[in-house]
Chains A and B, each alone.
Chain A
C-alpha cells in the first residue's frame, strides 16, 4: 500500500485564510503564511492553496502568497482559484507552485486541461471538483466556490478530466465541507475506484474514524484537511501516529 498523503488545505480570500461551512459563510481564520508554515512544520505532506473567490470576483491574486510560501516551505504546493489561461499557470509555476488546480474555467472550456497537461505534464494539473449530492449515487459539479451549478455529472466529469490529461482529482464534497461530520465515502469511492489517477478527498473530517473510513472504504489516495487543523482539533503528527497504528501507511519521517 502506498503512503496516503495528508494535505493541509488553505482556502484564501483576499489576504486572509478563511473557512466556511458548505463553502458558505466564509470566516476569517488568520494569516495564510503563518498557518502554512505551521502545517509544514507539523509534517503535512503537501499544501493546497485555493483562492476561493477568484472566479467569483473574476480575479487571481495568489502570487504573493505563493511566492512567500515557496521560499520557506519545502513540500509540494498545489495552487488554484481563477485559473483561465496557460499564462495563469505559467506565472504561478514560476513563483513556486508545483501543481495547479482548475475548477470553474475547466467546466466551461475543458480543452484547457488538455493544453495544460500537454504543456506542463499531467503530474502538474489537478482537476478540482466541488460535488453536490443530488440523490444517492449521483452528484453534480458546482463552480465559483460552490455557488453555480455547472449541470455536469461528477463521475462523468472526473472521467473526462482524466482523459483530457488531469493527473489528479481534488474532490470536495460540498455537503460535508466544514461540517466535521465525516467524508462522503460513496462519492470518493465512486471516483477513486474507477479512475487510475489519485483522488484527494476533501470535506468532512471530524474524527480519526472519518479519516480511516475515507481511506479504507473511500479508497482515497490523499486527504485534504482544513477545519480540524484551523480550529486546532488535531495536529498532523497526532493524526499520522494514530493512522499508522491502525495500519495505514503514512510518511512519518517529518517532524
Chain B
C-alpha cells in the first residue's frame, strides 16, 4: 500500500496542459524547466545552434587554460576533484584534465544503487586503464534504500538519493583533501534541456539545486516524512548520518571556497565523441545490447535501477529515455528528426523488465505497490494518460500514436 498517497514533486503543477513538441528535435514541453521560443524550438536546440555556430571554442579553451593555471599544483598534490561514474563522460573529463592539461585530479565516485556487470567493469577500467586515483563511496545502504523508497512514492523517482550524493559528495571530498576546484562534465540543464539560468556560465551555485534538480523538494522533506511514518527511527537519524548527501556546512565551505565548473562550458560537449575518447583512453565498453526503453547502448549503463528513473519520467511527463537520447542526437547532427521519431516510436516508454525484480527487492515493495505508485502518478496526469477499457493509454506521442492524437 502507498504510505502517503501524496506527492511532494513541485514540478507537476507546472506542466503545460497542452502537449507540444519541439519543431527541431523530439522533446516535448512537458520536460521540466524547458523553454520554447516563438518558433516552437526548445532551449536545448537553441543552445545547440550556439554551440555549433557561434561559440568561439578557442576562446573558451583559453579561459580554461587560465583557470587551470591558477589551480594546477606544482608538487603533484591533488588540484581538482572530478566526480563521476567512470562512464564515457566522466572518463573523458578526467582524462582530458589529467593527460592533456596536466592537472592532478582526484576522481570520486558516488556508487550507483545496484551496479550492473558492465558498469562495474567500466568503473574498474576507468581507474585501471585510464589511470586515476579514485575514491568510491557507498553510503549506508540501509538508509539509502529507505530514502529511495520514500523518493519513489513522494517524488515519483527512486533515483533522487543518488542525485543528492552525486551533487554534494564531491564538495565533501574537496574539503577533506583541501582541493579548491571541482570539475563536472556537463551541465545537463543546458545541454539536454532545462533551465537556461546558467547557459553562459561555467558554474552553478548549490543554492540552485533544490529548484533545478530536486523537484522543489529534497532530502529533508523525505526524512521528515520517513520519521513521521515510522520508516526511520529517531535513533537512526542521530549523529548526522546524512552528511554526505548534503552540501557541507557554510563555515566549512567558506574556509576553502571550492569552485565548481563544467567542462561543457569550456569544451564542445558531444557525448558520442566522448564515447570514442573513453573507448580509446579509458577502456570504456558499450553494453552488449541496448538499454531497455531506448536504442543506445553506451549511456547510463552502470545502475540496474536507471530504467525506472526514465520510466517514471514517462509516467509523469509522457516522454522517456528514447526521447531524451534521440533529442540530443538530433541536436548533435547524428540523426535526423524523422529518424528520431522512428526511434521514439519503437522504444520510448518500453518497460524496464530486465531489472524489475531487483528494483522491487531494493525498495522492499511488492509488484502491486509498484503499480499503485505508477497509477497514482498517472492519475495526477490526466492530460497525458487516459483509461481505455480499463487500461492506461498515453494520450499524445510525437509520432501520432496516442489515443487522443
Contacts and interface: CB of A to CB of B under 8 A. Distances in A.
B201 interface: no
A59 B285 CA distance: 28
B276 A179 contact: no
B339 A25 contact: no
B346 A147 contact: no
Contact of B298 (A25, A57, A149): A25
B182 to A, nearest CB: 28
Contact of B272 (A22, A27, A134): A27
Contacts of A22: 279, 285-286, 297
A152 to B, nearest CB: 13
Interface stretch (B189-197, B251-259, B288-296): B288-296
**Most interface-central of B275, B297, B335 (chain A CB within 10 A):** B297
Nearest to B271: A25
B298 A56 contact: no
A56 B346 contact: yes
A129 to B, nearest CB: 15
B272 to A, nearest CB: 5
Interface string B346-375: 100000000000000000000000000000
A59 B272 CA distance: 24
Contacts of A27: 272, 276
Interface in A117-151: 132, 134, 142, 144, 146-149
A26 interface: yes
A25 B295 CA distance: 11
A132 B336 contact: no
A25 B346 contact: no
B129 interface: no
A25 B276 contact: yes
B272 A25 contact: yes
B135 interface: no
Interface residues on A, range: 20 to 34
B290 A179 contact: no
Interface in B309-365: 333-336, 339, 342-343, 346
Contacts of A144: 290
Given A58-B346, A147-B289, A21 B275 contact: yes
Contacts of B296: 24
Nearest to A133: B288
Contacts, number: 59
A59 B343 CA distance: 12
Given A24-B297, A28-B334, A132-B288, A57 B342 contact: yes
A133 to B, nearest CB: 9
A197 B238 CA distance: 71
A90 B279 CA distance: 40
Contact of A149 (B288, B333, B335, B343): B288
Interface residues of B, number: 21
A58 B290 contact: no
B285 to A, nearest CB: 7
A147 B286 contact: no
Given A21-B275, A25-B276, A28-B334, A149 B297 contact: no
Contacts of B286: 21-22, 24-25
Interface in A190-213: none
**Most interface-central of A25, A58, A132, A144 (chain B CB within 10 A):** A25
B343 A24 contact: no
Interface in B251-310: 272, 275-276, 279, 285-286, 288-290, 295-298
A148 B339 CA distance: 18
Given A25-B276, A58-B342, A148 B285 contact: no
B279 to A, nearest CB: 5
A27 B288 CA distance: 19
Interface in B194-215: none
B140 to A, nearest CB: 35
A14 B289 contact: no
A53 interface: yes
Contacts of A56: 295, 343, 346
A57 B399 CA distance: 13
A146 B288 CA distance: 8
Contact of A25 (B275, B290, B343): B275
Contacts of A178: 279
Contacts of B298: 24-25
Contacts of B295: 56, 147
B342 A14 contact: no
Contact of A24 (B275, B333, B339): B275
B297 A57 contact: no
A178 B275 CA distance: 12
Nearest to B341: A57
Interface in A130-177: 132, 134, 142, 144, 146-149, 174
B272 A142 contact: no
**Most interface-central of B276, B288, B298, B342 (chain A CB within 10 A):** B288
Interface of A: 13-14, 21-22, 24-28, 53, 56-59, 132, 134, 142, 144, 146-149, 174, 178-179
Given A21-B286, A134-B288, A179-B279, 7 more contacts: A14-B335, A25-B275, A27-B276, A28-B333, A132-B289, A142-B289, A147-B290
15 contacts: A21-B276, A22-B285, A24-B298, A25-B276, A25-B279, A26-B272, A26-B334, A27-B276, A28-B333, A56-B343, A58-B342, A58-B346, A142-B288, A147-B297, A148-B289
